[in-house]
């Protein structure tokens, strides 16, 4: 699921509990945004604003914050694979700022990391949810230290400003879908291939069976978007009221999701289609259309609980367009394209310097791998059992120990004493035996403290050497 920019609505909150202003079910984004005053108060917290950005700068990077410091019931009470003995080490580490983005697969992946890093390994984590989306939203938060870990980074090709810890395992792809019965029952009309738009027989089939939106007004983009959404719809330049009956309607959710891709693809391929953005009513119409056997075209993505639990088929469009897409990335408002949305390799990311403080967490991140079928099963479980994502992750965790236990790195060695010539010191939360520096000594065969200061009547070059004057 991809969001490239945000139309922000602010709401006053009490007791730091988020108010849900707009909810799109089945993992689509929900806007329940923090007030400017609360964002300003968070800016004063050095734990989540380590670079000391002023309130305005901080608010500009966190305007899509939905919930801060989320709490979950504990799930895991089994083996901690030695980390139960590392409380002194983890307790001296700063809190990790974990970002969860507001769609279902990201919620699942983030909660998996949270439970492994906190419940098994024992690290302190501040768990916040954002609307999130593209790298141009997440990258600046990572650079500013507001976010330490993101489990689903959908990349677009902008310059990388984070450290990539490899693929999460499953891939992501947005696209247009139709009910599978269309493709299955009418194979000669090829409803799962874009050229059916050019087949009068297929178009007539849609026109006679398409769901009527009636007087629906989504109030999406009441403020027109240049060469895009206007009064909730997009119509290509060759559309006229007289030819409207020749056009098919694509149902979309929000114009900021896959922004400009389908507008410019309609232009580039010259297909007779318009787009209607349905906002918070999207799934109401989609559910009704599926239940009534309606022929319709709609936007969605995978992995998502909706696609995982409904019999729908993705429309295939061309995979390449002779460089038009590269030009479109530079000029999405006007440059036509002819290519489908590409499959995205979703990665796990942190700031570049994160590994210095948290080498074991970097090891965990590099090993976490969730296959497509595994993610789809967790998403299906959420829907079929009416579970929240944290309950579905707990179920996965309880039943997948043989898998995730191999992701848990060995805890650091606990050192309680040091030999002659060395002393016990703390460095970055870890106990180390270091050679006694000049001005100190240790003659003891075993010591559980720092080296001893040299007496006034002696010289101590370091180690176990001490010379009387």
**CA-CA distance, 207 to 50, in Å (whole number)?**
57
Is there a contact between 51 and 35 (Cβ–Cβ < 8 Å)? no
- What pLDDT does 13 receive? 25
| Average pLDDT for 45-59 | 79
Q: How far is CA 292 from CA 186, 216, 329, in A?
A: 18, 18, 39
pLDDT digits (tens, 9 = 90+) for 359-373: 999 999 999 999 999
Residue 1, token pair as written in the block: 């699921």
- What pLDDT does 17 receive? 25
- What pLDDT does 183 receive? 92
| Same fold yes or no, 36-162+351-407 and 174-330 | yes
For 215, left (φ over 0), alpha (ψ -120 to 50), or beta?
alpha
Tell me which fold the domain 36-162+351-407 belongs to: D-Maltodextrin-Binding Protein; domain 2 (3.40.190)
Confidence of residue 145 (pLDDT cuts 50, 70, 90): confident
Residues 6+ apart with CB under 8 A from 162: 138, 139, 142, 143, 150, 153, 349, 350, 351, 352
Q: Which residue has the higher pLDDT, 133 or 176?
A: 176
Question: Torsion over CA of 108, 114, 117 and 119, rounded to 10 degrees?
Answer: -110
| Average pLDDT for 168-183 | 94
For 146, phi then psi, to 5°, come to -70, -35
- What pLDDT does 208 receive? 57
pLDDT digits (tens, 9 = 90+) for 328-359: 988 999 999 999 998 888 999 999 999 989 99
For the full predicted model, state whether its pTM sits above 0.75.
yes
Half-sphere exposure of 218 (CA within 13 A, CB side): 26
Instruction: Identify the helix (H) or strand (E) that includes residue 109.
Output: helix 104-114
pLDDT digits (tens, 9 = 90+) for 279-328: 888 999 999 999 988 899 999 999 999 999 999 999 999 998 889 988 99
| Average pLDDT for 380-389 | 96
For 241, left (φ over 0), alpha (ψ -120 to 50), or beta?
alpha
Residue 299, token pair as written in the block: 């936007």
- What pLDDT does 209 receive? 54
Residue 73, token pair as written in the block: 């019931």
Annotated domain spans of the chain: 36-162+351-407, 174-330, 422-468
Is the pLDDT at 408 greater than 80? The verdict is yes
- Residue from 131, 167, 185, 95 nearest 21 by CA: 131
Is the pLDDT at 194 greater than 80? The verdict is yes
Query: What average pLDDT is seen over the chain?
Result: 85
Identify the CATH class of 174-330: alpha beta
- What pLDDT does 257 receive? 85
Please tell me the total number of residues recorded for the chain in this structure: 469
């Amino acid at each position: 699921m991809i969001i490239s920019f945000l139309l922000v609505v602010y709401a006053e909150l009490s007791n730091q509990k988020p108010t849900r202003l707009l909810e799109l079910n089945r993992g689509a984004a929900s806007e329940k945004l923090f007030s400017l005053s609360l964002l300003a108060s968070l800016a004063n917290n050095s734990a989540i604003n380590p670079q000391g950005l002023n309130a305005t700068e901080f608010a500009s990077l966190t305007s899509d914050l939905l919930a801060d410091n989320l709490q979950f019931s504990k799930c895991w009470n089994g083996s901690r694979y030695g980390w139960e003995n590392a409380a002194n080490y983890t307790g001296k580490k700063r809190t990790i700022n974990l970002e969860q983005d507001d769609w279902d697969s990201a919620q699942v992946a983030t909660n998996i990391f949270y439970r492994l890093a906190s419940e098994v390994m024992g690290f302190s984590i501040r768990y916040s949810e954002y609307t999130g989306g593209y790298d141009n939203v997440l990258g600046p938060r990572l650079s500013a230290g507001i976010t330490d870990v993101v489990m689903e980074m959908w990349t677009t090709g902008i310059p990388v400003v984070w450290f990539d810890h490899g693929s999460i395992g499953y891939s992501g792809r947005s696209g247009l879908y139709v009910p599978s019965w269309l493709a299955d029952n009418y194979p000669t009309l090829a409803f799962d291939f874009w050229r059916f738009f050019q087949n009068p027989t297929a178009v007539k089939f849609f026109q006679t069976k398409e769901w009527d939106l009636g007087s629906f007004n989504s109030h999406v983009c009441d403020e027109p978007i240049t060469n895009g959404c206007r009064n909730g719809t997009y119509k290509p330049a060759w559309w006229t009221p007289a030819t409207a009956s020749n056009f098919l309607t694509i149902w979309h959710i929000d114009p900021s999701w896959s922004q400009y891709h389908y507008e410019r693809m309609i232009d580039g391929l010259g297909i007779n289609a318009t787009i209607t953005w349905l906002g918070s009513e999207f799934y109401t119409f989609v559910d009704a259309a599926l239940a009534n056997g309606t022929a319709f075209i709609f936007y969605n993505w995978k992995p998502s609980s909706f696609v995982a639990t409904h019999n729908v088929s993705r429309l295939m469009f061309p995979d390449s367009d002779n460089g038009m897409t590269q030009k479109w990335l530079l000029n999405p408002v006007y440059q036509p394209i002819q290519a489908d949305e590409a499959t995205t390799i979703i990665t796990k990311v942190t700031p570049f310097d994160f590994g210095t403080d948290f080498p074991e967490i970097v090891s965990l991140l590099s090993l976490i791998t969730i296959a497509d079928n595994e993610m789809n099963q967790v998403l299906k479980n959420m829907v079929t059992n009416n579970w929240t994502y944290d309950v579905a992750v707990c179920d996965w965790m309880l039943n997948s120990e043989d898998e995730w236990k191999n992701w848990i790195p060995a805890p650091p060695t606990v050192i309680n004493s040091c030999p002659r010539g060395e002393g016990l010191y703390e460095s970055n939360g870890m106990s180390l035996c270091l050679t006694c520096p000049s001005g100190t000594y240790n003659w003891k065969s075993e010591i559980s403290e720092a080296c001893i200061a040299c007496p006034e009547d002696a010289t101590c070059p370091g180690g176990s050497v001490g010379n009387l004057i």
